Amino acid sequence: MDNQNNITIGIDLGDKFHIAVVLDGDGNELETVKVINTKIGVTKFFNPYKSATVSMEAGTHSPWISRLLTEMGLTVYVGNPRKLRLIWDSTDKSDARDARILGMVCRVEHRLLHPLYHRGSQAQADLATIKSRDMLVKSRTQLINHVRGLVKANGERFPKCSTASFAKRCESLVPSELQPALGFVFETIFHLTEQIKELDQQIEQLSIERYPETQYLSQVTGVGPITALCFVLTIEDPVRFAKSRQVGPFLGLTPRQDQSGEIDKQLPITKAGNTYLRQLLVGSAHYIIGPFGPESNLRLHGLSIAARGGKNAKKRAVIAVARKLAVLLHRLWATKEEYQPFYGRDKKVA
């Protein structure tokens, strides 16, 4: 096909099929096509447009489709749905209209899409191990809460213990009348605990064999193998950020802004980016400023914010530490430096 370099294709991704709108160099609509959501269907449609530019929104299918199209030679931009109000805030919304707008916006200026970067297939597969572990942990927690609730409603209480030791410690304490109902639940909890241990070993092995750079991140007390590996797999390449400070906004750990004239509202964080990694960093921040956290610049920074008092002082302190932690982890990764808890400050004075 002639003038493929001037062709722009906006595609609205669906679960069973996609709607693609093809625009020529002058913005005229050449065709609107329903594309079957399979690798064969997508490949068949885009084969004639191997030098075209494609725009789509990030979603469930955008990672594998964007990788497939890139391998075919197309230029692909994956738009950030949070930034495309022109699409989702419409009173005349349809799949064809969404695809058309994606194509038109990309044709004028692709930066208006606020393009996202999808990780590679190997990183995606390795990250699935961490996500699977997280799902097993959540399932175990729900089952433990279920058991504790039933026992409490029966007038009894289990002693406090860790989730990992719950099955062994509490199974023998189940009231006799509840044993038929809870026996299989305890078996499931015990089995989940064993599976979680196996995944923990897999994650540690992955870090050692495939992602040795995690060792630089794990130098920070409070950052374990899961947080370090998830950080590496989510960012994937430290060079993609020119400055380490850009990691905080990327992970949604900076406040939203609504400033006009002399009005500058104080708003919550944006919560953009990877939700799970943000939760892990917040968990690490809780430990760092908690009773067992070792002294460091990070801890002192968080405690100074918490000491100011106020309604949400502790929450603000945790978020601030999580944000600085993200910056620190990226810096350690990019420079491969040894972590210094009191970098730039004399420890005695601190």
What DSSP line would sit under 77-125, residue for residue?
A: EEE-GGG-HHHHS-SS--HHHHHHHHHHHHHH-GGGG--B-PPPHHHHH
β-pair type (263-264, 75-79)? unpaired
Averaged pLDDT for residues 134-149: 97
**Rounded to whole angstroms, how far apart are CA atoms 347 and 350?**
5
End-to-end CA distance of the chain: 68
Query: What local confidence, expressed as pLDDT, does residue 341 receive?
Result: 93
- C-alpha distances (whole Å) from 90 to each of 5, 84, 95, 97, 346 are 30, 11, 12, 10, 56
86 vs 184, higher pLDDT: 184
* Element spanning 263, H or E: strand 263-264
**Rounded to whole angstroms, how far apart are CA atoms 65 and 73?**
13
Q: Are 326 and 251 in contact (CB under 8 A)?
A: yes
Amino acid at 102: L
Query: What local confidence, expressed as pLDDT, does residue 348 receive?
Result: 47
Is the per-residue pLDDT at 178 higher than 60?
yes
Is the per-residue pLDDT at 86 higher than 90?
no
Q: Are 64 and 119 in contact (CB under 8 A)?
A: no
**Rounded to whole angstroms, how far apart are CA atoms 219 and 232?**
14
pLDDT in tens, 268-279: 788 888 899 999
pLDDT in tens, 306-350: 998 777 889 999 999 999 999 999 999 999 999 999 987 654 444
| Residue the block writes with tokens 């990327």 | 250
Q: Structure tokens of 42?
A: 């997508």
Averaged pLDDT for residues 78-85: 87
Is the per-residue pLDDT at 185 higher than 70?
yes
* Element spanning 35, H or E: strand 29-36
Phi, psi for 67 (deg, rounded to 5): -65, -40
Q: Structure tokens of 290?
A: 């908690």
Phi, psi for 18 (deg, rounded to 5): -115, 155
Q: Are 135 and 192 in contact (CB under 8 A)?
A: no
Per-residue pLDDT band for 289 (boundaries 50, 70, 90) equals: very high
Computed on alpha carbons and rounded to an integer, the radius of gyration of the chain in Å comes to: 25
Query: What local confidence, expressed as pLDDT, does residue 87 receive?
Result: 79
Task: Name residues whose C-beta falls within 8 Å of residue 79's C-beta, 6 or more positions apart in sequence.
Answer: 55, 56, 57, 58, 102, 105, 106, 113, 114, 115, 116
Amino acid at 343: Y
Phi, psi for 32 (deg, rounded to 5): -125, 125
Task: Name residues whose C-beta falls within 8 Å of residue 299's C-beta, 6 or more positions apart in sequence.
Answer: 288, 289, 293, 321
Comparing C-alpha atoms, which of 251, 252, 272 is closest to residue 82? 272
Averaged pLDDT for residues 289-297: 94
Q: Label residues 98-127 b or e (16+ Cβ within 10 Å = b).
A: bbbbbbbbbbeebebbbbbebbeeebeebb
